[in-house]
Amino acid sequence: MDGDFGMVKSLAWFKSNDCRGIKKGFTLIEIIVALVILSIAFVGISGQILTTRRGAQATFDEMKGIAYAADMIDRIKTTPYSDIPILNASEDDDSFAKLKISDEEMARAEKPYVRMVTIKEEKQEFNKKDNFKIKKVSVEVKWTVSNPDDKGKMVTRPVSVKLNTLVRKLVNY
């Protein structure tokens, strides 16, 4: 039964005794020290955020390059085998013209991306009586990336992705 009355007793004790040694808040020095510690932590975190942002941009650029290469491979794979020309490191305009892709269908690689298409015909021999004609398709997308190094100097480096596939002539039996 002493529940509420016990709390009243403790408040009365605090009021009656001299409580000079009990802290009731933070001093200005404690607040300044806490702010300095927080600012040091934020400098480290902001460096990590910038590094992560650069990595995300590089990943985005690479995915865009892969999409350009995959788009061209998809266009070539849907072209009849007899209409697929032999190409040697051909750029977009030449590739689209030789693949007979109309202006409405063209998906040109935007700058700074450069798409190069190589198509070679190969013979595959599986056994003595079966010979298959196969065209090897390589699509390479190149671009350059500029980033500051540790000293703040801009460094430019070439980047590329290359996708390969095989297109086989369908044989009717």
Instruction: Indicate the pTM of the whole model.
Output: 0.67
The pLDDT value recorded for residue 117 is 92
Residue 144 lies in a domain: yes
Nearest C-alpha neighbor of 137 from the set 86, 96, 93, 173: 86
Q: 108 near 92, Cβ under 8 Å?
A: yes
Residue 173 is predicted with a pLDDT of 41
Percentage of the chain with pLDDT > 90? 25
83 occurs within a structural domain: yes
Is pLDDT at 15 greater than 70 in this prediction?
A: no
What one-letter code names the amino acid at 24?
A: K
Domain tally, the chain: 1
Q: Which residue has the higher pLDDT, 169 or 164?
A: 164
Interval 124-139 mean pLDDT? 77
Alpha carbon separation from 142 to 11, 55, 128 (Å, rounded)? 77, 18, 41
Q: Is 161 a domain residue?
A: yes
CA–CA gap between residue 105 and residue 111 (Å, rounded): 19
Domain of residue 46: give its range.
27-168
Q: What whole-number distance in Å separates Cα of residue 113 and Cα of residue 115?
A: 7
SS3 89: strand
Residue 10 maps to a domain? no
Q: Please, are residues 143 and 64 in contact by the beta-carbon 8 Å criterion?
A: no
Least confident of 50-54, 81-85, 113-117, 122-126: 122-126
Cβ partners under 8 Å of residue 115, min gap 6:
68, 69, 72, 91, 92, 95, 109, 139, 140, 141
With respect to residue 82, please indicate whether it lies within any of the assigned structural domains: yes
Confidence at 18, pLDDT banded by 50, 70, 90: low
